[in-house]
Chain A
Amino acid sequence: AIWMTQSPSLLSASTGDRVTISCRMSQGISSYLAWYQQKPGKAPELLIYAASTLQSGVPSRFSGSGSGTDFTLTISCLQSEDFATYYCQQYYSFPQAFGQGTKVEIK
Chain B
Amino acid sequence: EVQLLESGGGLVQPGGSLRLSCAASGFTFSSYAMSWVRQAPGKGLEWVSAISGSGGSTYYADSVKGRFTISRDNSKNTLYLQMNSLRAEDTAVYYCAKASRYYGSGSYGYYMDVWGKGTTVTVSS
Kindly name the residue among B50, B62, B105, B114 whose own CB sees the greatest number of chain A CB atoms within 10 A: B105
Q: Which chain B residues lie closer than 8 Å to A45 at the CB level? A: 115
Which of B44, B50, B113, B117 touches A96 (beta carbons < 8 Å)? B50
Kindly name the residue among B62, B100, B102 whose own CB sees the greatest number of chain A CB atoms within 10 A: B102
Is B27 an interface residue, CB under 8 A from the partner? no
Q: How far apart are B1's CB and chain A's nearest CB, in angstroms?
A: 13
Q: A95-B60, A95-B62 are in contact. Are A30 and B105 (CB under 8 A)?
A: yes
The digit string for B31-50, where 1 denotes a CB below 8 A from any CB of A, is 00001010000001111001
Which of B44, B50, B61, B116 touches A87 (beta carbons < 8 Å)? B44
Which of A43, A95, A98 touches B116 (beta carbons < 8 Å)? A43
Chain B at the A interface: SS class: strand
Q: How far is the CA of A98 from the CA of B39 in the complex (A)?
A: 11
Is B80 an interface residue, CB under 8 A from the partner? no
Which of B46, B62, B100, B114 touches A1 (beta carbons < 8 Å)? B62
B interface, size bucket: 20 to 34
Q: How far is the CA of A94 from the CA of B45 in the complex (A)?
A: 16
Q: How far is the CA of A19 from the CA of B105 in the complex (A)?
A: 29
Could you list some 14 contacts between A and B, CB below 8 A?
Answer: A32-B109, A44-B37, A44-B115, A45-B115, A46-B111, A46-B112, A49-B111, A89-B47, A91-B102, A91-B110, A92-B109, A96-B47, A96-B50, A100-B44
Q: Which residues of B contact A (CB under 8 A)?
A: 35, 37, 44-47, 50, 59-62, 95, 100, 102, 104-105, 109-118
13 extra A-B contacts, CB within 8 A, seeds A43-B95, A96-B110: A32-B111, A34-B111, A44-B37, A44-B95, A44-B112, A46-B112, A49-B102, A49-B113, A89-B45, A92-B109, A94-B59, A95-B47, A99-B44
